Structure 1
Amino acid sequence: MRLIVFTDLDGTLLNHRTYDARPARPMLDRLAGLGVPVILASSKTAAEIAVWQRDLGLTRWPAIVENGAALAEGAFDDSAYRRIRAELARLAAPFRGFGDMKPAEVAALTGLTPETAALAQTRAHSEPGLWQGTEAALPAFLETLKARGITARRGGRFLTLSFGGTKAGRMADLAARFKADTTIALGDAPNDAEMLAAADHAVIVRNDHGPGIAPLPDETRVIRTGASGPEGWREGMAAVLDRLGIGETDG
């Protein structure tokens, strides 16, 4: 059995408020001992992800960035981002994206430091932001974007715009690359739902700060954790490994 793990960061592997991952580290060490690739799959940028890969000991693996719009590998190219910003400028809609904000404002909204907020604004493929119009006007905005080839995904905090690409699509590509026959995905927000639905085993980490995730098509593959954040991540991963018959001493 060749496993591969795909995990969201904020609210899943990281504490929603403090960004602490310490409760998950023993399980990350266990997966490393088993030789299991752990792929970070997040709305974060490649610049942000690189910091977390170093901190979590995951630099040997690629990462899925900007909500699946790209993989964190290769040269930096922000042409897609500049096209999105140009379309938003033409529409003049009540959408306030990261490109409209100072680092201090992004920091206040996300809980990041001003330095890491600046990394969050180093975007190449997608634009997260806040819809500041009425809920009644949102569908028309989304339809207008769709006609221009721009998709919108709602995460735990923001509405993120891109020209496509999903965490689920990138997951399939990387599973094939690493010749994995068993995929495990962990997430906590609606923008993780496609990735979770595509996985052989899905862990939905408890989310006390957002809408959570509605029932998936096949809940028999799903583990919903009692704990949130990295405690829930560790709980869910332990349950999946137990379900697969992989004990503490394996590897």
Structure 2
Amino acid sequence: MPSPPLVVFTDLCGTLLDHEDYSHDAAEPALARLRAAGVPVILVSSRTAAEIAPLRADLGLADHPAIIENGAGLLEPGAAAPEDRGRYDELRAALGRLPASLRAGFHGFGDWDLPMIARRSNLPMAEAELAAKRRFSEPGLWRGSDAQKAAFLDALAAMGVQAREGGRFLKLSFGGTRASRMAEVAARYGTPFTVALGDAPDDADMLEAADLGLVIANPHRPPLPPLAGEAEGRILRIDAPGPLGWTIAMTHVLDARGL
């Protein structure tokens, strides 16, 4: 099978999906062009397989893999969400081994009931239930001081737990990054030109590793600092937020490449 003209890796919340209502309607014009051109669009998210599987099908992207739980896992093409808990219980046990003074500052999905997950995530209850079906990572909020947070992260790192800041939550896992999974997936398609879109700190490694990175505006947080490759024009910033910015960005790419 010939390699596609490019492969697109996209963050979801605040990028392909609206930050507030999670709609992707404004991105549909560009998504339709990508589908027509045979360009794989790979969803990249901190969301669980249970969340991604129906969304991927709704977007018409079920024939492609998806990167889940911030790079800690992969959902294969056409696959349903696995029923097992993966390494989630192991991750929660690592949190339980922290000193109480450090553990008290972090409140994650495993500490909340479904109504709280729904409120914190701005999700309907049915979708919050899917978000709670975690296998590889633990999103949460930090409520302590910066000094306590640094000690918290150091203690977790000593147990092999990594932390990444996202658009809404601090996300813990045993490793795997968006960039490393992007390289793994891109290799399946040969040596394609890779485009990555994102809006938050946990997208930075993916944006920097792509042939072209597109930073979508996020009015809900300070702008990302300058990224490696940005001065050379390998990373561009889009002024519009969410799916509108996504369509502007991808229209620019498709027009430039004659697709």
Look up the match of 2:251.
238
1:115 aligns with 2:126: yes
Q: Separation in 1 of the partners of 2:225 and 2:198?
A: 12
Q: 1:53 aligns with which of 56, 59, 64?
A: 56
Aligned-pair Cα RMSD in Å: 1.3
Structure 1 unaligned runs (5+)?
none
Q: Separation in 2 of the partners of 1:127 and 1:120?
A: 10
Look up the match of 2:66.
63
Tell me if structure 2 keeps the 8 A contact 1:45–1:120: yes
Matches within 5 A, 1:84-163: 84-91=91-98, 92=100, 93-94=103-104, 95-163=106-174
Structure 2 unaligned runs (5+)?
none
Q: Separation in 1 of the partners of 2:30 and 2:179?
A: 23
My pick for the range that moved more, 184-193 or 85-94, is 85-94
Letter in 1 for 2:118: A
* TM-score, normalisation: structure 2: 0.92
Q: Deviations over 1:30-64 (max 9, x none)?
A: 00111110000000000001121122111111100
Tell me if structure 2 keeps the 8 A contact 1:152–1:162: yes
Task: Kindly state the Cα deviation for residue 204 of structure 1 after the two structures are TM-superposed.
Answer: 0.3
Q: Separation in 1 of the partners of 2:83 and 2:225?
A: 35
- Classify the secondary structure of the residue corresponding to 2:97: helix
Tell me if structure 2 keeps the 8 A contact 1:76–1:124: no
Look up the match of 1:184.
195
- Classify the secondary structure of the residue corresponding to 2:195: strand
Q: Deviations over 1:159-188 (max 9, x none)?
A: 100000001001001110111420000000
Q: Separation in 2 of the partners of 1:212 and 1:3?
A: 27
1:226 aligns with 2:239: yes
Q: Deviations over 1:96-131 (max 9, x none)?
A: 110111111111111100110110010000000011
- Classify the secondary structure of the residue corresponding to 2:38: coil
Look up the match of 2:225.
214
Task: Kindly state the Cα deviation for residue 134 of structure 1 after the two structures are TM-superposed.
Answer: 1.4
Q: 1:174 aligns with which of 181, 185, 195?
A: 185
Letter in 2 for 1:109: R
- Classify the secondary structure of the residue corresponding to 1:35: coil
My pick for the range that moved more, 147-156 or 70-79, is 70-79
Aligned pair count reads: 246
Letter in 2 for 1:83: E
Q: Separation in 2 of the partners of 1:10 and 1:159?
A: 14
Q: Separation in 1 of the partners of 2:15 and 2:128?
A: 19
* TM-score, normalisation: structure 1: 0.95
Letter in 2 for 1:140: A
My pick for the range that moved more, 233-242 or 143-152, is 233-242
Q: Separation in 2 of the partners of 1:241 and 1:34?
A: 9
Task: Kindly state the Cα deviation for residue 226 of structure 1 after the two structures are TM-superposed.
Answer: 1.5
- Classify the secondary structure of the residue corresponding to 2:236: strand
